[in-house]
Amino acid sequence: MIRSLHTAATGMDAQQTNIDVISNNLSNVNTVGYKRARAEFQDIMYQQMRAAGNGDGTVGNTTPTNPLEVGQGVMTIATQKMFGQGDMIATNNELDFAVEGEGFLKVKMPDESISYTRNGVFKRNADGLVVNAEGYPMEPPLTVPAEALQVIVELDGIVKARMPNETEMRQIGQVEMAVFVNPAGLESLGHNLLAETEASGVPIDGVPGEEGVGNIRQGMLESSNVKVMEEMIGMITSQRAYEINSKVIQTADQMLGTSSNLR
């Protein structure tokens, strides 16, 4: 019964973590480029009381085909980012970019490192440099001339500007992207940014539309891929599992109370 108290407690702790993950998904349902997370669990080590195939004096001195073992509960092993495509939202803002397919936009951090994002909300700063909402510039840098009348970003990431008194549009830059062998291994930094880790592998740089890299959709944004109904179902399931584990603790406590009161 002491074991059952501890085992049920691990179940409650795991479901609390699951609720935490679900609540974060729901709170980011309107966050541009957000990818939902999923908590993953595994059972804890087992106490083996008898191994399979061990003739240990059972009835008829037969050899048991199954082991006798009792589990110690559950633990949260990881949270997995689900990189399914979010819905496209038209904004008609010439510096809003949505990634259609695989890959991440790149931004340069103040420490010169590169972070990765699916949030394509960009603006021009006072110098014409294209930056995200935090003021971090795109990588490679993209500068839009102050006199530009229009900016066009093609599917392959080529950036062109319409200048006064010019009939041809002028190419002013190239949007580059990166893909990872294991994007789920990226580290979440907050602020819609992800960082490379050993688990994710090194970034494979490329241009949109080539070598497995997605396309750029100008004037659109990728919405969060969180589905409210699915998260609500997951929350209800997790709540019921939490209640059942708490009931196990109550039952074990009652059994302990009964046994301690025996005369």
In terms of domains, do 71 and 137 share one?
A: no
Strand partners, 37: 81
- Interval 17-58: pLDDT, tens: 999 999 999 999 999 999 999 999 999 888 777 777 765 545
Q: What distance in Å separates the CA atoms of residue 40 and residue 177, rounded to the nearest whole number?
A: 29
* Pair (218, 230) in one structural domain: no
* Cα–Cα distance measured from residue 178 to residue 165, given in angstroms and rounded to the nearest whole number: 36
Together in a domain, 53 and 147: no
* Predicted confidence (pLDDT) at residue 72 exceeds the cutoff of 90: no
In the chain, the number of structural domains is 2
**Is residue 106 located within the same domain as residue 207?**
yes
Report in angstroms the alpha-carbon separations of 163 from 136, 138, 142, 174.
Answer: 26, 22, 16, 17
71 & 193 share domain: no
pTM for the complete prediction?
Answer: 0.85
Give mean pLDDT, residues 231-239.
Answer: 96
CA–CA gap between residue 142 and residue 161 (Å, rounded): 12
Q: 78 and 173 share a domain?
A: no
> Is the CB of residue 116 less than 8 Å from the CB of residue 105?
yes
| Residues 138, 251 within the same domain | no
What's the pLDDT tens digit per position in 99-142?
Answer: 999 999 999 999 999 999 999 999 999 999 999 999 999 999 99
CA distances for 162 relative to 94, 120, 142, 148, angstroms: 13, 22, 15, 6
Q: Give CA–CA dist 159/103, Å, rounded.
A: 18
Residue 122 · residue 131 · CB < 8 Å? yes
Q: Quick one: 31 and 119 in the same domain?
A: no
Mean pLDDT of 215-244: 96
User: Which residues of 97-157 form beta strands (DSSP E)?
Assistant: 97-100, 104-108, 114-117, 122-124, 130-132, 150-153
104 with 214, same domain?
yes
As beta bridge partners, residue 75 has 42
C-alpha 241/C-alpha 15 separation (Å) is 7
Tokens of 175: 């949007």
Closest CA to 54 of 39, 46, 64: 64
186 and 124 within one domain: yes
Which residue range is the domain that position 196 belongs to?
88-222
Both 120 and 177 in a single domain?
yes
| Same domain? 119 vs 168 | yes
Burial 87-118 (b: 16+ CB within 10 A, else e): eeeebeebbbbbbbebbbbbbbeeeeebbbbb
Model pLDDT for residues 147-195, shown as the tens digit of each residue: 999 999 998 999 999 999 888 999 999 999 999 999 999 999 999 999 9
CA distance 239 to 52: 36
